[in-house]
Every structure is written in C-alpha cells, then in structure tokens.
Chains A and B, each alone.
Chain A
Amino acid sequence: MKEVILDCFGEACPVPLVKAEKAISTLEIGDVLIVQIDHSCAMKNVPEWARAQGYNVEIEEVNDGEWEVFIEKNK
C-alpha cells in the first residue's frame, strides 16, 4: 500500500490524464496515486476518468487553483 505522487503542475489537458493513466497501470491494487494539477480542465477529465474505471477518488484543494487528486486503485 504505497502512495505515488504525480506532479502535473503547469501541464494542460490532456497531459495530466495521459500521465495518470500510465502511472496507475504501474501500481498495485490498494496503492494510491496522487495527481497534482493546476489546470481546471484536468479537474474535469482526471476525476471523471478515474471514477469511470471504478476507483475511489477524493480531491484536496491545496492552494487556490491547485489540487491533489487522490486515486485509490481499489481493483
């Protein structure tokens, strides 16, 4: 059960989503991927994609306009 941070600050769509897809495929079940983003468009597609995969998702707004998307690879 490890946590992996994926730094996507400064990156626009669809880069964060592509990176997140790649990163999650390398993780084990039970691991958590933390995607750091600051482009609001990524706030639309990254959580939506993760939920469509059936993963648990929770988001923290760490700063104004900066988010950490926690994706638990639960299956």
Chain B
Amino acid sequence: MPREKVVAHYDVVIIGGGAGGLTAGIYCGRARLKTLLIEKSLVGGLATYTNEIENYPGFPEGTTGIGLMKLFESQAKKFGVEFKLTDVKSVDLNGEEKIVETFRNIYKAKVVIIASGGRPRTTGAANEEKYLFDKGISFCATCDAAANTDKTVVVIGSGDAAIEEGMFLAKFAKEVIVSVIHDEGKMDCNEIAKEAALNHPKMKFIWNSVVHAFEGDDHLEKVVLKNIKTDTLIPIDCDTCFEFIGYLPNTEIFKGKIDITKNGYVLVNENKETNVSGVYAVGDVTEKFLKQVATAVGDGAIAGFAAEKYIAESEIFEEQILTQDLTVSYVYNAVDADSRSYLPTVEQFELENNIKVNRIDVYKSTGLADRLGIDNFPSIAFIKDKKVIKIIVGLPEKSELIANM
C-alpha cells in the first residue's frame, strides 16, 4: 500500500531552482508570501554546469556557477523560502487553487511559477543509451574533466558551451576532437572562442560531421562519426564523449495544460504570465531571445512581483468586489483627467445611496478589470450574487447610475 500523500498549502510554489526560480523565490519571500521551491536535484540549475561565469554583473573578477548559485540560494533562504529536493510528478493548474504533486506530497498554492529549465539534448545516435552518465557519455566538463587527464575526448557541437567546455577539457586531456556539423571554419560559438579554439594545439576539428554510433564493451571505447556530405564513417577511439548540442525544455508535465510552442517552450507575456491565470514561467523554459543567468534573474524578479500582485488582487476581488449583495465598481485609469474629475460624482452617489463603490485604478495593473471582463476604461460595473449584472461604459450622469440600483 503506498503511503498517503501529505498535503501542504502555500501562497507560491516555484518549480525549479535555477537562477530564475531562485530570484522569483527571493522576491516572493521578501513580499512575505509563503513560498516553496521544488528542485529535482542540485539547487542552482544549469549555471552549476558552468565553471566560469564572467558576464554576470557585480563580479568583475568572474565567479563560478556553483558559487554564484549558492549565494542566490542563501538569499532566498534568508527571506524564508522553503526548499524541497524532489521532482514534480504532475500538476493541475486550472482552478483558483493550483495543485503540484510530488512523489510523497501534494502542494496546494495560489500561484505556480514554472522555472523548470531544460536538460541536455542527446544526439539520438545508435547505442547512445548504453553509455549515458558514467559509461562514457557526459554533459558536464566540470564534472568529468579531471577523470580524463591525458586521455582522448570527443566533443559534439560548436556552440559557446561546446567550445568553451572543450577548451577547459584541453587543460586535462591529451587531445580534444570536436565534431562540427558545419563546413570547415564555420562554428556556432562567438568569434573570440572560435579563434582561440582553432589555434589551440590540443584541439582538432572534424567538419561536416554528426555522430553515427557509439561503441564499446562496458564503457564507451569508440565514437563513430559520419561525414554528412560523403556518408563516410569516421571511427575515433576515445575515453569520453561530451555532448553540447543544446537543451530541451522540461515541459512534459505541462503539455495540454498551458500554451507551449512546438519546440516545447512555455509562452509568456512581458509580465511572465502564461495563458492560465496565476501561472507564471521564467528562465530557460520560456520562449525567449537570450538565455543567460542575467536574463533569468530579470524574469524571476518580474514573476515574483507579479505573483504578489495577483495574490493581493485575488483577495480584494473575493472579499470586496465579487460579493453577494449589490456592489458597484468604478474602473478607471487615474492618468486620465476626465476619469479623475468623475471621482466626486462617485462619492456623491455613494453617500446618497448608502452603497460602497470600489474604485479600481487600472494604471498599474488591469488584473482586477480583467477578472470583471472589462477592457474599456472608464466603466462602471454593477455586481450582485457574485455576478456582473451590468456594465456602463463611459462616465454616465448620476441619474443613470441611480436608475440601475
């Protein structure tokens, strides 16, 4: 009999503990929201796979991925963010109360922030499965460089990660053979890295090539490359093969529940909201232009702030606006002078009819207006039995307001 799952309630559950998730945690924690961050293994995410981070502002001498993420984590903990190290099995995001389920727990939250990042893409070549992790195929130079001292390694890919990690490996290995899919001299990395790599005495390039198969008894012994122009097979004896051919977003459990691109990335607006209210997404898992620690931090800050606003609005909406008795809401933009000068009319109407009018200013956020289904400002909404019964667009005479009472 499986043990019954323990249920716990939070304001915010963040799925994923990389730079984006941790920053969202810092903002939520500091806004005094009860926040849980769920990370499937090591807190810090993809950044912990990078040995040197030279372009994150505030560290002119550079820093390590693990070191930087440790600081993020300490800061989140300082603001009371709780951490749970396990993977999320399923989510139910539709209701007001979102449900996040792990192996042993069910977490219920008002807001879910998806920060699940990605995982290394694999080549899909023959026998790849047999050698993953410790059997000769690695995705982490930092982890496995030292074990390859004076050995021959193969690197797949020519992006920034592939070339920079390749150069790091060259400090240890006897020889680093790089398989590049493009024509000779063409690489996906930045020009500086390319120049340095091409001139590196230990690095050798095999152009127009992809992996055809992996071979070996127990451990990887040989990578068989294939020239995509001539179909010639090129067997290379090596000890470890490092694959750096991009990342796949971790969005399997969200499929069919939120809007996702055909490549699996989560679609968000500039406030990091998904198409489901109360669900946000940040960092590498989202469809975005630049995937960096610095941009994930920005995403996290926005989502953390938005989560706080959303929760505050939900409380106001339920307690003050969507009530049983008749209430009136004046939805306006305080920037608009005409809308402002209507406020005394609202006040008079309030006093004369002994009714409370909620003044909803949409200048900073249209969240409450969205919930009322109002996108024309100014408008006046009449609500009874938790339903909007009438909307008047514009600034009506007081008599028209009274007529709707």
Residues of A bordering B, CB below 8 Å:
13-14, 17-18, 21, 40-41, 43-45, 47-49, 51-52, 56-61, 67, 72
Residues of B bordering A, CB below 8 Å:
40-42, 48-49, 66, 83, 85-87, 102-104, 132-134, 140, 142-144, 147
A49 to B143, CA, bound (A): 15
A13 to B133, CA, bound (A): 10
Known: A44-B49, A58-B86, A59-B85. A13 touches B143 (CB 8 A): yes
Contacts of B143 in A (CB 8 A): 13, 41, 44-45
Interchain CB contact under 8 A, B85 and A44: no
Known: A45-B133, A45-B134. A56 touches B103 (CB 8 A): yes
Contacts of A57 in B (CB 8 A): 40, 86-87, 103
Interchain CB contact under 8 A, B42 and A40: yes
Interchain CB contact under 8 A, A14 and B41: no
Known: A13-B143, A59-B85. A44 touches B41 (CB 8 A): yes
Interchain CB contact under 8 A, B85 and A18: no
* Shortest beta-carbon distance from B163 to chain A in Å: 21
Contacts of A40 in B (CB 8 A): 42, 48, 66
- A sample of 14 cross-chain residue pairs with beta-carbon separation below 8 angstroms, ordered by A number, consists of A13-B147, A41-B140, A43-B41, A43-B42, A44-B41, A44-B48, A44-B143, A47-B40, A49-B134, A57-B40, A57-B86, A57-B103, A58-B102, A61-B85
Nearest A-chain residue to B74, judged by Cβ: A64
Dominant SS at the A interface? Answer: helix
A47 to B140, CA, bound (A): 15
Contacts of B66 in A (CB 8 A): 40
Most chain B beta carbons < 10 A, residue from A40, A52, A57: A40
Interchain CB contact under 8 A, A48 and B133: yes
Given contacts A13-B143, A14-B134, 7 further A-B contacts (CB under 8 A): A21-B134, A44-B41, A44-B140, A57-B40, A58-B103, A58-B104, A59-B41
Dominant SS at the B interface? Answer: mixed
Interchain CB contact under 8 A, A48 and B41: yes
Nearest A-chain residue to B120, judged by Cβ: A48
A9 to B145, CA, bound (A): 21
Known: A13-B147, A18-B134, A41-B142. A51 touches B87 (CB 8 A): yes
Interchain CB contact under 8 A, B103 and A14: no
- Closest 7 pairs between A and B when the two form their complex, measured CB to CB: A59-B85, A43-B42, A14-B134, A41-B143, A47-B41, A58-B86, A56-B103
Nearest A-chain residue to B129, judged by Cβ: A52
Interchain CB contact under 8 A, B132 and A52: yes
A49 to B138, CA, bound (A): 12
Most chain B beta carbons < 10 A, residue from A21, A57, A60, A72: A57
Most chain A beta carbons < 10 A, residue from B41, B85, B142, B144: B41
Contacts of A59 in B (CB 8 A): 41, 85-86
A13 to B144, CA, bound (A): 7
Contacts of B40 in A (CB 8 A): 47, 51, 57
Nearest A-chain residue to B85, judged by Cβ: A59
* Shortest beta-carbon distance from B25 to chain A in Å: 15
A47 to B85, CA, bound (A): 10
Nearest A-chain residue to B84, judged by Cβ: A58
Contacts of A56 in B (CB 8 A): 103
Nearest A-chain residue to B44, judged by Cβ: A40
* Shortest beta-carbon distance from B135 to chain A in Å: 9
Interchain CB contact under 8 A, B87 and A44: no
Contacts of A21 in B (CB 8 A): 134
Contacts of B83 in A (CB 8 A): 61
* Shortest beta-carbon distance from B131 to chain A in Å: 12
* Shortest beta-carbon distance from B167 to chain A in Å: 20
